[in-house]
Structure 1
């Protein structure tokens, strides 16, 4: 099953805010076996949002839209969607009751701007009414449309607890998606790409992604298949080939960090470490002392 993500907000298109919602949603969907074929970022503009939504529905089986569900003047997603899908705006009684309850709990009244949040496109269903007034679902033909708040914490909660489980329940069969992260130090990205040419024709269906994380380079091996046993076997095989090619430049895998690797080496060799740092703000010492047990080998540092 493939889908699209649309994130809405002038703060995104102006560069004032980083689009972490698209990053989070795409990662969660991909590792659940659901394919994201396109991500679109648009401002709070009727024509742009309408065009993006209609384009997404042409090929996608699901569309996840974030942003524009609040009470301020620039929160226009509900109005735009209603016009784009030719549906009237209706006041949802459950949404209104939730808004009223939240307002009264704070000693407030439901203002016109707050009541605006209760007006949604006809046919909308609240994703999680028991968890507050945020997010709704629409079915347009064969396409599932999920509208989520732009607030990252709220969006992530609804994605994890409701949207992804709902999508997975609608899938008859899902592929197995697995990835491995390999971390390299001492080789440039072009040099790594040159080394990986030796894997041509030997990697099977495993794909490679190269991601600079200065001063490191991270390599992600990914494979999608129907059988979990085959995925694991193939990734193990290709990972072994990559290890031989990278040799000593490969210093860690998965979530392991440079400071963890250094700490293990120091413990194993029974070596202690002291630092003299200049113009770093104590960054190296900070990273090392963030590790539990670092006092066994770290003697301290001098800042200039």
Structure 2
């Protein structure tokens, strides 16, 4: 009798353990990740319909598409599945990129935090604009998948990827920056200069400097900063305003959440933006707004 009771008890425990659900956590991801999450191939990424985004239970228990981000409720095993699937798609994109030219290569770190692309001027400055965009489109997708995998691993949706483009002929750096906060502008003059030396930032940004500023106020339509360097640009200004509803913010990538006291590094040229917003605070038009915690001197 005791043996029978023990057997029944063991079976009940087994059934109960099988019914227990794996605990889940909340993950906030870049809105752009909707294009590739859960996709079967790079081709399906290109055909993505933003009006029909969803994830099956292989990858998440719940997914919400918000205005500027994706919110997932997922277990550790589901996140592992997502990362592995992202990796598979990224490897497919990398193969297409490296097939453009024999000397094109792409390498990323195991933790997805950095990537290096080797490119040449033919791919960058093709007479066929659509071809150039397609060539560089591969790097765009790889950068976003890397950032998403980083966010999945460390649960930081604002995380960055250290991106480097290299001149495949000379081995010199052609452009370097923190994705997604810095744009990767590459000109013909940058290419020519990279034949003999590293080019960290495009000559398009000559005259710009990086200034540390603290957030004084955050509203839906503007961010007010306090400059922290009195011996540089804007030395007579106690506050500066970035108007989020103006063209000056169209190409600026901002973190998911910004609060008073946050410190940023703004790339500015000392000029003011021509924008009337009803206050006396001077407006500015930075080309980059980088969270200080990710910024590298």
Please tell me the TM-score bracket, short chain as reference. under 0.3
Q: Which has the larger radius of gyration?
A: 1
Tell me which protein shows more helix as a share of its residues.
1
Structure number with the bigger relative contact order (C-alpha 8 A, sep ≥ 6) is: 1
Q: Normalising by structure 1, report the TM-score.
A: 0.24
